Structure 1
Amino acid sequence: MLSDLIQLRKDLHKHPETSGEEKETAKRIKGELEKCGADEILTGLGGHGVLATFRCSSKNPEKRLLFRAELDAISVEEETNLPYQSSLKGAMHGCGHDGHMTILIGLAKELHKNRPKEIDVYLLFQPSEETGEGAARVLEDDRFKELNIDHGFALHNLSGFAENRIICKSGPFAAGSVGLEISVKGAFSHAAYPERGLNPSVTVAQLITEIDARMKAFRDENESNKIVCTYIKMGERAFGISPGKARIGFTIRSASDEKLDTGVKLVYEIIDKVKQDFTGQVSLKKVEPFRATINSEEGAEVIMNVSEKQGLDYKELNAPFPWSEDFGEFGQQFPIAIFGLGAGQDKPPLHSEKFDFNDNLIPAGIAMFRGIVDYYQSM
């Protein structure tokens, strides 16, 4: 089974699709699930999402568990020169979602061979994880609402940790984040007559310096609270034009959704103050929102117990990761827990153009997920 799964993983890697474009990936996953004898397969969840149901042998479930993997790739040009390198320019599986999907298909194969007696299992292949939009759209689907899930689980491969080490903690596991795009609109003019236009540069400078200064208290309050200016776009490389519009991007992060909202409100207040001195237009929109990923105490305990039973090294996290994970959105509807699966200390980092999923993680990932099912079955 492992050699077939590795081949599947490499095929998925070779044909990546970015957020919202996962049509062919979803079709491939559906075909694999059909081979595994899923009782029901739903498609079109939250876009191109796929969900497979494996009902318990007793037909009288005591628990309903969800396991999730991600369908989407990232917008990075791959530079691995592997035989199965991405065939799509400007897109690659640089976050390991190809491996996560493969692990979930491996679990499907295990469930096909041996159904739990009293546990219904749902396997979700979620779209648009990278943009923070997929989980919310899945949750909006009435077909998903009807499932009455008791607990959800997921994993993520993590470079920089020992291979097959399990990394977890209860409470905040990954930060919430949101992108803020500020648009400043004035009026273009000839650079010889700047007074005939409205150049936004001074307002842009004020916004950046004011936000940096006013957000110091937010940053100092907790080490997970962060804000960074991610881009500035104003004008072109031309010396005869006074630009008339600009865009500024910020990302705010926090391990608390409440603190994240506080930070966003403060940025709105700063914008309202600065734009009073600008006769043009200043607007703000939120993009790529991620809730903080909060592991339930029960789920974290299950993961720790299962890792020990599987003979896998377990590491308790001291603090949440600063990156964001769309899985946190599901925590608004039912308890969730996600764990890291160490990919090796010398592996390229996630989202690197050199990244490739470590296939040695596939057996451990399957064993952890199957072990979680068996843990609940034995309760």
Structure 2
Amino acid sequence: MNKDDINRLIKLRKELHQYPDISHDEGATAAKIQAFFEPLEPTKVLDKLGGNGLAFIFDSKQKGPTTMIRCELDGLPITEESNAKHKSTIDGRSHACGHDGHMAIVAGVGMDLAKNPISKGRVVLLYQPAEETGEGAKKVLKDKRFPTIKPDYAFALHNLPGYPKNEIVLKKGPFAAASKGMVIHLKGKTSHAAHPENGNSPALAMAKIIAGLEALPESMNGFCLITVVNAVLGEIAFGTTPGKATIRATLRTYDNDAMERLTKFAAELVTVIAKSHHLGIDISYTEHFASTVNHEAAWEQVNHAAKKLKLKTKHIRNPFRWSEDFGQFSLNTPTMFFGLGSGKTQPQLHNSNFDFPDTIIPSGVGMFNQIIHQLNR
């Protein structure tokens, strides 16, 4: 990429950073991206895909694989703490995960496709909504138009603080954990605080459930983690015993089968404790993330691309504990999700002072362009 192209992408990145949209409310961001791609003249554009998603299709009209490159549209409900001129202009919202940078990288891929058309197959550049809540990929997959662009390969990256800038982080198999939110409602009976024997407080059951959930993974094989993130008991009324409680926890495993087992055992544990205290119980789940699993053939493409570009690589042994909505695509397509180092001193993802480093944009664009060259040129 020449200097003008890079500056154009940096300008786009900073504009996106100033006006972040959160999950399910990415319409303004999608409009900015669509305006950027209009002069690039993709073969076809699918808008409002799975919500506010966009798919830009570059079709060679010749037989060959369909290669999908995916990035994310949404920011986070986090107030930015920064003195940068391009800091978020919207209170309580920021691109504290770097999705603005990911979008700029994929925009750079679009620029290259416009200048250097592919000779076989198709390339689909997907801007996915609602990644942060784990809902967007599933909605994209369920969109009735998605089968028309069903990819043979799907690739995505994420910037990774703590790794040297431009380092490519690779792993075969599971790359990021499966996770889900568990919501437990307990129903007892209130009474006057002077006569707790006339009611049925869920307080003791709540304490047992919190301790039991966090200890449960110790009895299971492989990586399993339950983190209680929120607990609410009764009301602030010193004359009344509590009659209800809510416990929220996040379940994590490295693979989807282990997640099914962990969910089953957690639900059984909670139910036994609630029933032993004669409490009503309701369990529900939210923010489901499938494990992001790298396919060996797709891994080979990314590994080869990094070598061709002479970028330093880091082959990690253990998956990351955080989750990625890209895992939904892993259930149906040979996928490869890789990391792009964003600096050893870079603030961590979801920190209020995170700001994507523009200096790694060319490496991200170069990786995707090289993958496309290998598959579609």
Residue 300 (structure 2) aligns with: 301
Residue 173 (structure 2) aligns with: 171
Counterparts of 2:83 and 2:262 in 1: how far apart (Å)? 42
1:106-185 equivalence runs, <5 A: 106-185=108-187
- Kindly state the Cα deviation for residue 236 of structure 1 after the two structures are TM-superposed: 4.5
Residue 22 (structure 2) aligns with: 18
Counterparts of 1:196 and 1:17 in 2: how far apart (Å)? 50
Residue 13 (structure 2) aligns with: 9
2:186 and 2:274 in contact (8 A); partners too: no
Residue 357 (structure 2) aligns with: 358
Residue 43 (structure 1) aligns with: 47
Residue 75 (structure 1) aligns with: 77
Residue 57 (structure 2) aligns with: 53
- Cα offsets for 1:105-145 (capped at 9, x unmatched): 11101101111111310010001101111101100012011
Residue 241 (structure 2) aligns with: 242
Whether 1:375 and 2:374 are equivalent positions in the alignment is: yes
2:213 and 2:226 in contact (8 A); partners too: no
1:94 and 1:353 in contact (8 A); partners too: yes
1:222-371 equivalence runs, <5 A: 222=222, 224-371=223-370
Counterpart AA for 1:178: K
SS at 1:173's partner residue? strand
Counterparts of 2:139 and 2:261 in 1: how far apart (Å)? 25
1:69 and 1:104 in contact (8 A); partners too: yes
Counterparts of 2:214 and 2:14 in 1: how far apart (Å)? 44
- Cα offsets for 1:168-224 (capped at 9, x unmatched): 111111111111111112234442343444321111012122323443212xx22x3
Counterpart AA for 1:123: L
1:101 to 103, 118, 121: 103
SS at 2:346's partner residue? coil
- Kindly state the Cα deviation for residue 321 of structure 1 after the two structures are TM-superposed: 0.9
SS at 1:94's partner residue? coil
Which ranges of structure 2 fall in alignment gaps of 5 or more residues?
none
Identity of aligned residues (%): 39
Residue 84 (structure 1) aligns with: 86
Counterpart AA for 2:334: P
Counterparts of 1:17 and 1:148 in 2: how far apart (Å)? 27
- Kindly state the Cα deviation for residue 282 of structure 1 after the two structures are TM-superposed: 1.0
TM-score, L = length of structure 2: 0.96
Counterparts of 1:148 and 1:266 in 2: how far apart (Å)? 36
SS at 2:30's partner residue? helix
2:58 and 2:113 in contact (8 A); partners too: yes
Counterparts of 2:32 and 2:302 in 1: how far apart (Å)? 29
Matched residue count: 373
CA RMSD in angstroms, aligned pairs only: 1.4
Counterparts of 2:186 and 2:275 in 1: how far apart (Å)? 13
1:119 and 1:373 in contact (8 A); partners too: no
Counterparts of 1:136 and 1:356 in 2: how far apart (Å)? 28
Counterparts of 1:229 and 1:106 in 2: how far apart (Å)? 41
Counterparts of 1:94 and 1:82 in 2: how far apart (Å)? 13
2:32 to 28, 32, 36: 28
Which ranges of structure 1 fall in alignment gaps of 5 or more residues?
none
- Kindly state the Cα deviation for residue 279 of structure 1 after the two structures are TM-superposed: 3.2
1:99 and 1:359 in contact (8 A); partners too: yes
